[in-house]
Amino acid sequence: MRLRGKHIILGITGSIAAYKAAILVRLLIKEGAEVKVIMTPLAKEFITPLTLATLSKNPILVDFFNPENGDWNSHVDLGLWADLYLIAPASANTIAKMANGVADNLLLTTYLSAKCPVMVAPAMDLDMYNHPATQKNIKTLQGIGNIIIEAATGELASGLSGKGRMEEPENILSSVVDFFFTSSRFSNKTVLVTSGPTFEPIDPVRFIGNHSSGKMGSSIAESFAQQGARVIFITGPAKFLPSNKNIEIISVQTAEEMFCASTNNFSSVDIAVMAAAVADFTPMNVGNSKLKRETDEISIKLKPTKDIAAYLGKVKSKSQLLVGFALETDKELENAKNKIKNKNLDIIVLNSLNDKGAGFGFDTNKVTIINKKSEILSVELKSKTEVANDIVDFIAEEFDRLRGKG
Ligand code: CTP
């Protein structure tokens, strides 16, 4: 009963593989899960709602409301009820709609309002699967954090043979069980994440800032929260904020405020990830009124800000894990390794400004992750959500080692 108490929505679309959904429902129920099934109208042509209602022990949901009594099937409530939304089989059509935010049936509106992780098992003919449009849509879903259970290779309904078969129900079940294992990996753990830029005021209307959007920090916070952690997210004025019920957001403006919020919370955390692009300098004096354009030249005297990562490195206990970021332009590895030492970090994530598509302003990133023993993991260019998952996996292994589980 590895899924006891888990709430799973199974979304079934119009694909011949829909017949395998019956076996999948049985396997999920046998493992103790509670299953609610949503079908697209076309899915009913491939397998009867009666079969699925009997196996899942719940009424099958297809329409937005029950035509007999007018009761709404609330996609919002469904989305909140579920611990996992599994869409299997997912046809090319439904995948395309999901990737584009189309909401023309209950399966899709529930997808758009679901707060839980989403797993997608594609099923279609090999040419449809290989088509660049489908591949792009699958990449889009992956990029926004959906878990794709890759199609298998074999005989297809069309009589052709190739990649496109929905993965076998037993293997989908294993992915679901693995998912729930990792989703509780950080339960009872608290993680602090700093993110975004800081704005250092010059006068009441101007500031010194930087281009950090907060996307990397936000994706890391989401990934930890999805894996069961309570997250304290301390952010400067950033474009991207995470949204997950396990994340508490503390908004700050300046490096000094970020320092205070971080040090106030640090003693209660197990892991701290310093993803913020903190300003290194701040004006010595902040004007009370707007600086006038009276002279040809002005100079603003700057003083260094407090180094939050270095401070936490000094005060951290043996059981706390501290992760820093480094943005380097030259002698990247050497500088990153020096930062591990100088700030007493356990791990550093190196961004290189020389890599195309990586760093500020991009949706993608390419990083090198290094631990104290100089073990290195190079993460190729991919979406920041996927990079965040790789970073969190690396941190999880290091954390287990630190706590003597590795
Ligand atoms: N950092 C911090 N507080 C600061 C400056 C940096 O916590 N006042 C953290 C960043 O969040 C990052 C790490 O320190 O995790 C390294 O930041 P980076 O700007 O690359 O390094 P600096 O120490 O500022 O060194 P330099 O800019 O000279 O490379």
In a 3-state reduction of DSSP, which class is residue 127? helix
Query: What average pLDDT does this structure show over 50-65?
Result: 92
Banded pLDDT at 140 (limits 50, 70, 90): very high
Pairing label, strands 190-195, 84-90: unpaired
Q: Is the beta carbon of 325 within 6 A of some atom in ligand 1?
A: yes
Supply the residue whose CA is at minimum distance from atom 28 of ligand 1.
280
Ligand 1 pocket, residue 173 CB under 6 Å = no
Query: Is any ligand 1 atom within 6 A of the Cβ of residue 256?
Result: no
Q: Mean pLDDT, to the nearest integer, of 332-358?
A: 91
274 lines ligand 1 (CB under 6 A): yes
Q: Would the CB of 326 count as within 6 Å of ligand 1? A: yes
pLDDT cut 90: percent of the chain above it: 79
Residue whose Cα lies nearest atom 9 of ligand 1: it is 309
Say whether pTM exceeds 0.85. no
Question: Does the N-terminal peptide bond of residue 304 adopt cis geometry, omega within 30 degrees of 0?
Answer: no
Residue-wise pLDDT for 225-249, tens only, equals 989 999 999 999 999 999 888 999 9
pLDDT of residue 7: 97
Q: Mean of the pLDDT values across residues 276-280?
A: 97
Ligand 1 pocket test, candidate residues 210, 315, 323, 325, most atoms within 8 A of CB: 325
| 210 labelled catalytic | yes
* pLDDT of residue 2 exceeding 80: yes
Pocket test of ligand 1: the residue of 233, 274, 346 to mutate, having most ligand atoms within 8 Å of its CB, is 274
What average pLDDT is seen over the chain?
Answer: 93
Work out the average pLDDT over 357-378. 89
Question: Is the pLDDT assigned to residue 360 strictly greater than 90?
Answer: no
Provide the pLDDT confidence category of residue 328 given band limits of 50, 70 and 90: confident
Burial 92-109 (b: 16+ CB within 10 A, else e): bbbbbbbbeeebebbbbb
Rounded distance from Cα 401 to ligand 1 centre (Å): 26
Find the 281 Cα to ligand 1 centroid distance in Å: 11
- Angle at the Cα of 261 (from 229 to 226), degrees rounded to 5? 15
Gap from CA of 193 to ligand 1 centroid (Å): 14
What mean pLDDT is predicted for residues 79-89?
94
Q: Confidence class of residue 3 from pLDDT cuts 50, 70 and 90? A: very high
**Torsion region of 383: left, alpha or beta (phi above 0 gives left; psi -120 to 50 gives alpha):** beta
CA 86 to ligand 1 centroid distance, Å: 40
* Position 151 pLDDT exceeds 70: yes
pLDDT digit string (tens) for 171-229?
999 999 999 988 889 999 999 999 999 999 999 999 999 999 999 999 999 999 989 99
> What was the pLDDT predicted at 10?
98
User: What domains appear along the chain, each with residue ranges and CATH number?
Assistant: 7-181 (3.40.50.1950), 190-284+300-402 (3.40.50.10300)
Distance 89 CA to ligand 1 centre (A): 46
Ligand 1 mean position to 304 CA, how many Å?
A: 11
For ligand 1, say whether the CB of 11 is within 6 Å of any of its atoms: no
The protein residue with its alpha carbon nearest to ligand 1, atom 18, reads 326
CA distances from 398 to 289, 346, 347, 348, 401 (A): 49, 8, 8, 12, 5
Q: What is the 341 CA–ligand 1 centroid distance (Å)?
A: 13
Is residue 350 lining ligand 1, measured as CB closer than 6 Å? Answer: no
Residue 184 confidence (pLDDT): 86
Atom of ligand 1 nearest to the CA of 311: 7
Mean pLDDT of 290-318: 93
DSSP 270: S
Expressed in percent and rounded to 5, the helix, strand and coil fractions of the chain are: 35, 25, 40
Tell me, using a 6 A CB cutoff, whether residue 255 lines ligand 1. Answer: yes
Q: Which residue in 210, 244, 265, 335 is the catalytic one? A: 210
**One-letter amino acid identity for 183?**
S
**pLDDT tens readout for residues 13-29:** 999 999 999 999 999 99
Place of tokens 């007493």: 344
Q: Is the pLDDT of residue 406 over 70?
A: no
Contact 36, 58 (CB under 8 A): yes
Cβ–ligand 1 distance for 280 under 6 Å, the answer yes
Non-local CB neighbours of 23 within 8 Å, separated by 6+ positions: 169
Strands (E), 301-399: 302-304, 321-328, 347-352, 364-371, 376-383
Q: What is the mean pLDDT of residues 80-88?
A: 95
Ligand 1 atom showing the smallest separation from residue 349 Cα: 15
| 212-251 burial code (b ≥16 CB/10 A, e <16) | bbbbbbbbbbbbbbbbbbbbbbbbbebebbbeeebbeebe
Evaluate if residue 47 carries a pLDDT over 90.
yes
